[in-house]
Amino acid sequence: MNLFSIRDIENLTGIKAHTLRIWEQRYNLFCPKRRESKHRFYDCEDLKHLLRIAYLYNQGHKISQIACCSPEEMAKLALEVTPDIDNYDIFINQLTEAAIDLDQPRFDKILHNLVLHVGFEKSVLCVLFPFLKKIGVLWLTGQVMQAHAHFARSLIIKKMMVAIDGLERPVYSGGRRVLLFTPAGDHHDIPGAECQELPLLFMQYMLKKEGVPVIYMGKNVPLNMLQQICSQHPCTQLYFLIIPNLNKCDMHEYLKKFSSMFPDKEIVFSGPEACQCSCDLPNVRLLKTVEEKRAFLKEGRGAIMNIE
């Protein structure tokens, strides 16, 4: 069973531990278990219950009103609320609860409503990426199973694929074409490595939206395969994401080899570890900031969307 401290609950719900204690004492909203040391602890059912309370509270319901509701009434009330589209934490909490329950219909419905209210790009940047980071932390700390993270990631990938397929395919007639991939390697035991495909898919979406022809190769692509592709399908740029377990030395050697193999291509890379890398190779470009990513996208046809 996954157990949470009151500090964990504070971080996951956004409600201060002091406030949670007051609610517990004044309104008898929940009854946490206690260890022999008298410290409170909570299980998954407690977490889901508190996420619902936090959701209703953040939507403007008085805590005294929430305290009078049964769990069934609370769930019904939550469904009737029109979400505040600027409060992304609400959607993150809803997705977390659905993922813990492995409830695919509810997860899909939340995703649908999210995209409907805020649009696809904001949904990904402001909700889905922070949500996946949150689920990853829960997994790393042993508070959810790997199955919960895999469940959520699979459904989000499906949503991204549908969005990508819904865009008009740019016709390649010479000029710019970008090949997207993540490098080959054994990354299965590296926390977060299994999510590298998601930002790559999002880059594919954004490039396609800008009218830039793309060849999407996905994850774990060796350099010799890239050579084969480029020999048959001309590309001007090769874009990849940094894999978390490549250290600075490995990355530098990889880039040197990559650069020498493709001297006529521009090699572009980014990722969570990008800010720790340095690059002085003539045909290699590192995207560290939002502005640099915007400039990369703007090289294609059409006006750039706001990706902040």
Determine the structural domain holding residue 120 and report its residue range: 6-165
Average pLDDT over residues 117-135: 88
Mean pLDDT of 122-133: 90
Residues written for the chain: 308
Cα–Cα nearest to 78, from 48, 107, 55, 50:
55
Average pLDDT over residues 117-137: 87
- Inter-residue long-range contacts of 29-36, CB under 8 Å, 24+ positions, other chains counted: 29/53, 29/63, 29/66, 29/67, 32/6
pLDDT one-digit tens code per residue, 58-103:
778 888 888 888 877 877 776 666 555 567 888 888 898 899 889 9
Whether residue 10 is found in the same domain as residue 154: yes
The domain that holds 254 is classified in CATH as 3.40.50.280
Mean pLDDT on 219-229 = 90
Q: Distance between CA 153 and CA 128 in Å, rounded?
A: 9
Provide the percentage of residues in the chain whose pLDDT is more than 70.
Answer: 81
In a domain, 307, yes or no: no
Evaluate if pTM is beyond 0.85. Answer: no
Give the pLDDT band (50/70/90) at residue 183: confident
142-155 mean pLDDT: 83
The residue out of 109, 137, 165 marking a domain boundary is 165
Residues 156 and 192 in one domain: no
- What DSSP string describes 23-82? HHHHH-----EE-TT--EEB-HHHHHHHHHHHHHHHTT--HHHHHTS-HHHHHHHHHH--
Widest CA span of the chain, in angstroms? 71
For residue 149, give the nearest of 109, 95, 108 by alpha carbon: 95
89 within domain boundaries: yes
User: What is the rounded distance in angstroms from the CA atom of residue 109 to the CA atom of residue 306?
Assistant: 26
Confidence (pLDDT) at 243: 59
